[in-house]
Structure 1
Amino acid sequence: MAVAGSLALLATACGSGDDGNSSSGGSSAGSLDGRGPITLASGKDTSGNLQNQLNAWNAAHPNEKVELKELPEDADAQRQQMVQNAQAQSDSYSVLVMDVVWTSEFAANQWITQIPEDKVPDLGKLLPATVETAKYRDKLYAVPMTSDGGLLYYRNDLLAQAGVNQAPKTWDEMKAACTKVLALPAAKGMSCYSGQFEKYEGLTVNFSEAVNSAGGEIVGKDGKPNVNTPEAKAGLEELVNDFKTGVIPKAAITYKEEESRRAFQDGKLVFLRNWPYVYALANKTDGSSKVAGKFAVAPLPGKTGAGVSSLGGHDYAISSFAKNKATAIDFINFMASEERQKANVEKTSQAPTWASLYDDAGLNKQFPYLAPLKASIQNAQPRPRVVKYGDVTAAIQQAAYDSLSGKTQPDQALSDLQTKLQSLITQ
C-alpha cells in the first residue's frame, strides 16, 4: 500500500477493548525461539485450498506440524476472537491470519510480535504496497501473504448481445450498459449491480471505494478525519440512489462476499464488485456456477473515470503469547515463498504478494485479470490505519448502513460520522 505510509499512525490511542497495558511500541522483537507444533488461526477457508498448503508443510516437518484453527467467515467475528484470545494471553493461537487493517491495533496493544526484517529473506521480492500493510511505526509485525484489490466482474456475454463492446469505466456507463442488457430476454429477472452492503467490514470497503472513487477520502494524509465533504457525499449518494432506483437489488443490503458471489454465479447480476478469489469459483464447470465462461473482469468504475479500490489482503503475524515462535517464522516464510504463493494462486485465484507472479506468463494465461489487478493494488487506497480500527470501522459501517437503509440522509450521516471519527482518532 504505497499511499498508506502517508497516513498518520496514531499511537496515542488504545485499541478497541484495550486492557490498559498497551504501549505505542508494540511487542518487542528478539524472542523468536522455540520449536514444535503450532496453530494457524484463520477465517473460514472458502477457497478449499488452505489445508493443502498446510499439508505440504506438515509432510516436511513431522515434528513441527501446524494445526488449522478455523474461525468464522465474517471478518469482524474473526478479529473479535483474536482480540479475546490476546486479552486472555492465551497460547492457543500461534500464527494469526490478519486483515491488513488490523496491524496497528494489534501491534500497539502488544498482541503480536515484532519481526526483524532479516528474518524474512524474501521481503524485498514482495509488492511494496503489501509490505506497508504489515508495518507499524516503520517496524515489521507481519508478513504479507495474500493481497486484494476490488475487481468488477461482468457478464461479457450479455453485454455483447446488447451491443456493449467494452467494460464501463464510470458509474454512469455501467448503468447505461445495464439498461441495454436488462432489456434482453436472456436477462429476465436479473439486477444490475451489487457489492457487499451488510453491516460488517465489507461495507467499510464498499463505502470507502465509493468515496475514494468520487475524489473523496475518509481520513486525510494528515491523519485527520475528512469525510464530511462534497466528494464523500457524491460517493455515498451514488450507493443510496442505486438502492432507491433498483440498480442495486434490495437483497444486497444483506450481502457479504459469499452472498454476492453466489448471486452472480446464479445469474442474478450483470455486474459484481468482489475480490479476485471469485474468479476461480465462478469459472468452475462442475455445475456450481451458471456463468462459467460467460464473464470477464475489469477495474472498478468511478464517478468520472476509473475507480479506486480499497486495499485488501491478509498478513501472517505471530501471537505475542505463542510457543514455538522459531517454528512459526519458518512456517510463515514457507507460506510466503514464491512456490507456495504460485500454488495457491493456481488453485484459488487469490492475489499473491510476490511481485514476479503478476508477470508470470502461465498465470496470466490462466488468470487474465492479473495485470489489471496489479494496477488495482498499486493504486489502491487504504482503509484508515489507526490504532482504534475496530471502533472506527464500526462507526463507518453504522453511518453507511443507516444511509443505505433509508434511516439517515447522506448529509446527516457524513456529518455525524465526521464527529464520531474525530472523537475516536484524536483521543
Structure 2
Amino acid sequence: MKSRNFLLPAATAGILALTLSACGGGGGGTTGGGGTDADANLDGRGPITYVQGKDNSNVVRPLIEKWNAAHPNEKVTFKEQTESADQQHDDLVQNFQAKNVNYDVMSVDLVWTAEFAAKGWLQPLKDKMAVKTDDVLKPVVDGASYKGTLYTAPQSSDGGMLYYRKDLVPTPPKTWDEMMSMCSIAKANNIGCFAGQYAQYEGLTVNASEAINSAGGSVLDKDGKPSLNTAGAKAGLENLAKAYADGNIPKEAITYKEELGRQAFQEGKLLFHRNWPYVYNLATTEASSTVKDKLGLAPLPGKSGPGASSLGGHNVGVSVYSKNKATALDFLKFIMSEETQKFYATQGSLAPVLTRLYEDKELVAKLPYLPVLKTSIENAVPRPVTPFYPAVTKAIQENAYAAIKGEKPVEQALSDMQKSIESAGAGS
C-alpha cells in the first residue's frame, strides 16, 4: 500500500475524554510576589519545550531544527504525545494541574481552548504577550479565543468540503435540497448518494453541528447555553434523519468515520462525500482510487448557499507556568509566519491560517482545493465553545446517532440533548 503522509484532523484523532477532571485547580493562582501566574516570567528567555501529538507528517522536527539553529540559547525540545486526542488532552490536563514548568508551549485542539482558558492554564495573548492576527481568517481567530480574549496562536485550520463525481454531476449543488434532488442520479448509477461521518464518535459531533448550523440553528447560543429547541436545529437534524431513512444516506454510512467514507468514495460507491482536505491528495494519487479524473470539489451545501462547516485545526498556547514566556511568544510568532504556514501546507497538507496564502498562485498550483477550502473556513463555525465540552460532545453524539438511526424522533433527540447539556453545567 502507498505510504500516507497526512494528518487526520484533530476532530477525528480520537474521542475526547468524556469527563472533565474534578480536581483541576485552576491556574492563574497567585505567585509568591502577590501577582498571578499569568503575570509572571513575561520577560523570561531560555530553552522551552513544545508539546504536540504524534508528528505523522514530519512537520515539527524540521521546524524545530530551523528554530534551534537560529536560537542556540533558546532551543526548543519537542515532547511528542500519542496519536490519540483523548490521551493528548489528559496529558495536558495532568501537567497543568501539576503546574509543570517544562510544558511551555503546547498544541491545543480548538475544543480544548475554552476548558483550559476557564481553568486559568493558558497565558492570555494580549498586552506584552500579544500576537498579530490582522491577516488571519476571522473564524480561526474566533476559534482561538475565549470570551473575547485570544488564548492561543492560530497554527493550522481545517474545514469540511463536498467531494463529488464531476462526471455524473457537472455542476455541484449549492443547497442541501438541491443535493438531495440529485440523488436520483446516484440511484440511476446504482451507487450511494451522500455520506459524511455518522458513527458514534467525535466526527458525528462535527457532522451534526454542521447540519444544525447550516439549517440556521445552533447547539449553543452566544451565552454558551444550549439552544436546541428551535426550528433551525430541528430542520438540520431532520435533514440527516430523513436522508438516512429514505436511503439517500446509505445504511452502511452509520458506521462511517473519515477513512471508511473516503474509501467508499474512492471506490466509486458514492456520488457526494463530506470530508476534510486530506482526502484530496489520496483520492488523486492512490493507485486504487477510481475517481482520480472525476473528482470535483465544492463548499458544503447549506440552506440557501454555502453551509457552515465545523471549524477544524489546532492552535498553540503558552502555559501560565512557563518560566520563559518571551521565548515562547517568539516561537508562536515563528509558527504563524508565512514561511512556516507554507511549510505546513506543502509538507503536511495543513490548511494555512493566513488569508493571503489562499490567493498565493504557487501554493494554489500545488494544492488546488485551497479556494474551496477558504470558502469553507470563512463560513465555518467552531464546535460548541464551552468549558464543559467533553460532556457536550457526548450528548450530541448519543442523541444525533439515535435520531439518524430512527431510534428517537428528532424532537425527542433534541430535547434529550438539551437536557444533557444543561445537566453538564453548560446551561447554568
- CA deviations on 1:187-235 (whole Å, 9 max, x unpaired) are x5x4222212232322111111111122212122344321122321221
Q: CA separation in 2, counterparts of 1:340 and 1:422?
A: 41
| SS in structure 1 of the partner of residue 134 of structure 2 | helix
- CA deviations on 1:338-386 (whole Å, 9 max, x unpaired) are 0110122123332211121112122233333322322322222232222
Q: Normalized against structure 2, the TM-score is what?
A: 0.83
Residues 1:309 and 2:309 aligned together: yes
Q: 1:331/1:283 Cα in 2 relative to 1: closer, same or farther (>3 Å)?
A: farther
Say if 1:117 and 1:123, in contact at 8 Å, map to a contact too: no
Q: 1:321/1:265 Cα in 2 relative to 1: closer, same or farther (>3 Å)?
A: farther
Structure 1 unmatched ranges of 5 or more: 1-14
Other-structure match for 1:364: 364
Q: CA deviation at 1:117?
A: 5.2
Q: 1:125/1:41 Cα in 2 relative to 1: closer, same or farther (>3 Å)?
A: same
Q: Which moved more, 1:351-360 or 1:251-260?
A: 251-260
RMSD: 2.9
Say if 2:24 and 2:97, in contact at 8 Å, map to a contact too: no
Other-structure match for 1:399: 399
Residues 1:123 and 2:163 aligned together: no
Say if 2:174 and 2:306, in contact at 8 Å, map to a contact too: yes
Q: CA separation in 2, counterparts of 1:140 and 1:241?
A: 40
Q: CA separation in 2, counterparts of 1:380 and 1:274?
A: 14
Q: 1:17 aligns with which of 8, 11, 21?
A: 21
Q: CA deviation at 1:95?
A: 2.5
Q: Normalized against structure 1, the TM-score is what?
A: 0.83
Other-structure match for 2:346: 346
Q: Which moved more, 1:75-84 or 1:415-424?
A: 75-84
Count of residues in Structure 1 that have an aligned counterpart in Structure 2: 401
Q: 1:322/1:27 Cα in 2 relative to 1: closer, same or farther (>3 Å)?
A: closer
Q: CA separation in 2, counterparts of 1:151 and 1:401?
A: 22
Q: CA separation in 2, counterparts of 1:137 and 1:27?
A: 19
Say if 1:208 and 1:310, in contact at 8 Å, map to a contact too: yes
Q: 1:180/1:136 Cα in 2 relative to 1: closer, same or farther (>3 Å)?
A: closer
Aligned residue runs from structure 1 range 273-312, under 5 A: 273-284=274-285, 286-287=286-287, 289-312=289-312
Other-structure match for 1:167: 172
Q: 1:379/1:132 Cα in 2 relative to 1: closer, same or farther (>3 Å)?
A: same
Q: CA separation in 1, counterparts of 2:69 and 2:289?
A: 34
Residues 1:39 and 2:50 aligned together: yes
Amino acid at match of 2:221: G
Other-structure match for 1:7: none
Q: Which moved more, 1:141-150 or 1:198-207?
A: 198-207
Residues 1:336 and 2:336 aligned together: yes
Amino acid at match of 1:270: L
Residues 1:99 and 2:109 aligned together: yes
Q: CA separation in 1, counterparts of 2:110 and 2:340?
A: 20
| SS in structure 2 of the partner of residue 272 of structure 1 | strand
Say if 1:100 and 1:313, in contact at 8 Å, map to a contact too: yes
Q: CA separation in 2, counterparts of 1:100 and 1:119?
A: 20
| SS in structure 2 of the partner of residue 283 of structure 1 | helix
- CA deviations on 1:150-194 (whole Å, 9 max, x unpaired) are 21111213x2xxxx320012223223333214423xxx5x42222
Other-structure match for 2:209: 208
- CA deviations on 1:13-67 (whole Å, 9 max, x unpaired) are xx9324253379996244242422523222x445454444444434545661432
Structure 2 unmatched ranges of 5 or more: 1-18, 30-35
Say if 1:215 and 1:231, in contact at 8 Å, map to a contact too: yes
Residues 1:149 and 2:159 aligned together: yes
Q: 1:254/1:281 Cα in 2 relative to 1: closer, same or farther (>3 Å)?
A: same
Q: 1:341/1:281 Cα in 2 relative to 1: closer, same or farther (>3 Å)?
A: farther
Q: Which moved more, 1:95-104 or 1:321-330?
A: 321-330
Other-structure match for 2:8: none
Q: 1:138/1:268 Cα in 2 relative to 1: closer, same or farther (>3 Å)?
A: same
Q: Which moved more, 1:93-102 or 1:19-28?
A: 19-28
Say if 1:264 and 1:272, in contact at 8 Å, map to a contact too: yes
Other-structure match for 2:381: 381
Q: Which moved more, 1:75-84 or 1:265-274?
A: 75-84
| SS in structure 1 of the partner of residue 382 of structure 2 | coil
| SS in structure 2 of the partner of residue 411 of structure 1 | helix
Other-structure match for 1:228: 229
Residues 1:183 and 2:193 aligned together: no
Amino acid at match of 1:397: Q
Q: CA deviation at 1:144?
A: 0.5
| SS in structure 2 of the partner of residue 330 of structure 1 | helix
Say if 1:364 and 1:370, in contact at 8 Å, map to a contact too: yes
Say if 2:124 and 2:150, in contact at 8 Å, map to a contact too: yes
Say if 1:126 and 1:355, in contact at 8 Å, map to a contact too: yes
| SS in structure 1 of the partner of residue 391 of structure 2 | helix
| SS in structure 2 of the partner of residue 168 of structure 1 | coil
Say if 2:41 and 2:322, in contact at 8 Å, map to a contact too: no
Q: CA separation in 2, counterparts of 1:301 and 1:45?
A: 33
Other-structure match for 2:7: none
| SS in structure 1 of the partner of residue 383 of structure 2 | coil
Q: Which moved more, 1:400-409 or 1:286-295?
A: 286-295
Q: 1:250/1:72 Cα in 2 relative to 1: closer, same or farther (>3 Å)?
A: farther
Aligned residue runs from structure 1 range 56-135, under 5 A: 56-61=66-71, 64-73=75-84, 75-91=85-101, 93-116=103-126, 118-119=128-129, 121-135=131-145
Residues 1:138 and 2:119 aligned together: no
Q: CA deviation at 1:323?
A: 5.5
Say if 1:277 and 1:351, in contact at 8 Å, map to a contact too: no
Say if 1:27 and 1:114, in contact at 8 Å, map to a contact too: no
Q: 1:211/1:34 Cα in 2 relative to 1: closer, same or farther (>3 Å)?
A: same
